[in-house]
């Protein structure tokens, strides 16, 4: 599927013929994969506990918001908390932001998104391979083990896609790079060109700007720490497919989470949702 369209207008979708011939195969594959997926799991979040589930939460979908679970640098010694039980950095904005983006994907595309998210633990056997789009928040605090880094590398080289977001400034960048360099010690992190397809799948995103978190309502500043400029970076495979989309010095998760908050500026949620939709469609079509 190749999609085009201006962000200010309705998206225009053009389906390539080569995908039509694989429709039956894809449906069969989805049915088989469903039997191998982990059941839905609910965890306490950093901000939310017992967040109400949508009425159709038990229904399957073509796409699911898969959220990466990971050990936290502050909790890696298990002294102050257990990342496997939730409540640590991987649960920031969870599950409100996940469900808002899933709902937006339903409205803005023909992708039938599952209404509820899926936390994914890289240590859970082969489960990560069931979720082709994976999102990691606050990766300026992650502490991947050697086994998790190896699993992430294999997942991405097999065709998986990883989007990471909500980390700011020099120190958190260094923590992120320390973990990602163990996933891909042989692949550089580069700036994503404005002409890259990821910025032009559903919406044309030539006019991008820094998207702040909810903190902008209290600090009245867009940046956090010394992260004054938004950075759009990534890691590509040997065929030029973007495998890792890195959103540094911005907080797209908050823009999804607070899309229904009348105090949070609409322009930030509008761009944040468009970015999320583009990244998802790119991941599912490349």
pLDDT, tens only, 108-155? 999 999 999 999 999 999 999 999 999 999 999 999 999 999 999 999
Side-chain-facing half-sphere of 158: CA atoms under 13 Å:
13
Instruction: Inform me whether the pLDDT recorded for 89 exceeds 80.
Output: yes
Position 75 scores a pLDDT of: 52
Pick the more confident residue, 50 or 101: 101
Q: Rounded to whole angstroms, how far apart are CA atoms 173 and 188?
A: 14
d(CA 260, CA 35): 35
By the 8 A CB rule, do 138 and 167 touch? yes
Q: How confident is the model at residue 19 (pLDDT cuts 50, 70, 90)?
A: very low
Going by C-beta distance under 8 Å and a sequence separation of 6 or more, which residues neighbour residue 265? 216
Which residue, among 7, 282, 4, has the nearest Cα to 163 in the 3D structure?
282
- Residue 41: per-residue pLDDT: 87
* Mean of per-residue pLDDT scores for the chain: 88
Question: Which of these ranges, 47-51, 52-56, 92-96, 184-188, has the smallest mean pLDDT?
Answer: 47-51
Residues 209/230, Cβ–Cβ less than 8 Å: yes
Per the structure block, which two tokens stand in for 262? 């009348």
> In the numeric block, which tokens belong to residue 25?
């195969």
Cα distance between residue 23 and residue 103, in whole Å:
24
Q: What is the pLDDT of residue 81?
A: 66
**50 falls in which pLDDT band (50, 70, 90)?**
confident
Give 13's strand partners: 3
Domain annotation for the chain: domains and CATH numbers: 2-285 (3.40.50.12140)
In the beta sheet, which residues pair with residue 247?
232
pLDDT of residue 16: 32
Q: Which residue matches tokens 């039509």?
A: 20
- CB under 8 Å to 206, separation ≥6 — which residues? 194, 199
* Angle (nearest 5°) at CA 259 between 258 and 262: 80
Structure tokens at 266: 């609409």
The pLDDT, as a whole number, for residue 142 is 96
The DSSP-derived string for 233-245 is EEEE-TTS-EEEE
């Amino acid at each position: 599927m190749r999609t085009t369209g201006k962000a200010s207008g309705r998206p225009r979708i053009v389906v390539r013929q080569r995908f039509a011939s694989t429709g039956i195969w894809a449906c069969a594959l989805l049915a088989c994969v469903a039997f191998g997926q982990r059941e839905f799991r609910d965890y306490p979040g950093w901000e939310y506990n017992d967040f109400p589930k949508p009425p159709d939460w038990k229904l399957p979908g073509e796409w699911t918001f898969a959220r990466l679970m990971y050990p936290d640098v502050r909790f890696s010694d298990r002294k102050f908390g257990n990342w496997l039980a939730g409540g640590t950095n991987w649960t920031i904005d969870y599950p409100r932001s996940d469900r808002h983006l899933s709902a937006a994907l339903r409205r803005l595309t023909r992708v039938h998104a599952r209404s509820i998210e899926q936390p994914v633990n890289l240590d859970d056997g082969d489960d990560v391979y069931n979720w082709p789009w994976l999102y990691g928040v606050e990766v300026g605090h992650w502490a991947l083990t050697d086994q998790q880094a190896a699993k992430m590398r294999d997942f991405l080289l097999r065709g998986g896609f990883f989007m990471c977001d909500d980390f700011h400034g020099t120190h958190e960048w260094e923590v992120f790079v320390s973990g990602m360099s163990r996933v891909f010690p042989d692949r550089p992190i580069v700036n994503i060109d404005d002409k890259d397809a990821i910025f032009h799948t559903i919406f044309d995103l030539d006019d991008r700007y820094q998207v702040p978190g909810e903190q902008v309502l209290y600090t009245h500043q867009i940046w956090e720490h010394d992260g004054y400029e938004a950075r759009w970076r990534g890691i590509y495979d040997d065929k030029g497919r973007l495998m890792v989309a890195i959103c540094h010095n911005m907080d797209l998760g908050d823009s999804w989470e607070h899309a229904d908050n009348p105090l949070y500026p609409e322009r930030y949620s509008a761009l944040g949702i468009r970015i999320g939709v583009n990244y998802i469609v790119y991941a599912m079509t490349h």
